[in-house]
Structure 1
């Protein structure tokens, strides 16, 4: 199979702004979050007829990140993960407080790729670990205070949505659910017969971040591509049906088109100068429609593609074949004129 000649021209003209949910690649961001945390696993061991447990509390923190590529960032944070309190009628409230640093990877997906309605909205996950200091402050019946603390690395899992605030390309809001598995390991304060109290902490937070270097509007790049398919791989002489090898070529063209957003495709068919003008117009139209129909079968919307036959207009051979003698030799010489051009316009 002979190679298809493909001409590409990409113009970087900015004509409209668009919201991008995730920060741009190779940029930094920073922010703060606040929300509500809840302790789980082992909490009920502290409940009795004389005491009650408050397992929910405020959580807050700061975070910063580096966007490695469009869909992956690394994020560092420092958080107060919450305080659990046990209230006793004859003593001050016992407290179990947690704070520390966390490091995680943050893969994301731009939901605007699914539908324009979700433009600017990003779904993401965070997976990492937190080094957490757990502080215990408990009171005995005689009023004496017992304190202790521990450091423990705990796995962190989170999922959330992030939204680029319209009109402020450097600001983004996020809502997130986070789960920390097993914090603390101090035996001085436990309702489970001296065993370590290592609860899980779930939290829902709202955050706001600032993206450095993204104050300017994000603009799409206008794309113009033209694919020229010669007759040696598309159609035989005086034919409008695709050669078997043409399908592989058109599959490659479709792969290029699929990467263009809001693509508008114009298919133009041409013939050589042999034959009448009316016949050539009809043949070129049939060739253009054959290619357009194939691309539609691959996934291009019917309303986004057009097919037009131009007959023997705009020959690329010029006067090169004027001195050629013999029909077979002339047909071979005029082969470049028998072509189909696929013009694609859209944005990246």
Structure 2
């Protein structure tokens, strides 16, 4: 069993390595830790009155797991995970007690409802299968029978993303046997309370594609162009932590430019929520925040020009046009809340 669990872990890690190289949007990989009401004794021994050697009922067990997911958009994702539920021998009260653990593999869809850019609530719908031997023909033969080890499940939880990369989430999962589902029983067999941590990777970054390029030398003049885009929270001019990192990196590149004739153009933008006058002012204020950053780092304000574009040039015009729910719309319009930075030098 330990070899099989190790095989699943290595499989998940290899998947991470392969998909990371593709640099697609939405991949994330994480680990989970929690407590399950799943009774390993009952599953393995079919003993309803199972107790340990000290007479205490084993009403639950810790659960550890790894998961890999792909988020197609802010509202929909697919996940695969491998969990180990139960106690290892050295954690038991008696050293010679039989190893009490079981493995499971799960596929699920994740439907999310963004509250803010960072916070969302979600539900996961899927099915999991407990296994002693994943390649056993006997186990596979009984997957869709009343005695199946397959458990349909539903989860409810909340998720918070830090610095647009690191995810923490807390959820509770209800699992019910195929037999109860077939009998239309609404009382679930099991429940898992789980805390998870994940890392987003492989995101494509369109801005980075144009972050630094040079135009060939012509007539003894060299032209350098640097481009960056800084995003802002909804109805805010506050810089995110990741934006400070981007600005610091851009500022270092500007200082490395050999020419002293450096000119910076800042174009502020707002999303379409709100009236035109308010969005115009908000877009200008966002541009001034970026200007203040550069001037505080030694760049003369005479080298910086500002223009507020209001909500006239959205990036999400077609994507978000049919969304009526304001929280969903706020999340969808996130790319529009930005300041575009262009640096020129000759």
Shared fold (TM-score, shorter chain, > 0.5): no
Bigger Rg over Cα: 1
If each structure's helix is expressed as a fraction of its own residues, which one has the higher value?
Answer: 2
Provide TM-score, normalisation by structure 1. 0.41
Provide TM-score, normalisation by structure 2. 0.42
Greater RCO structure (CA 8 Å; 6+ sep): 1
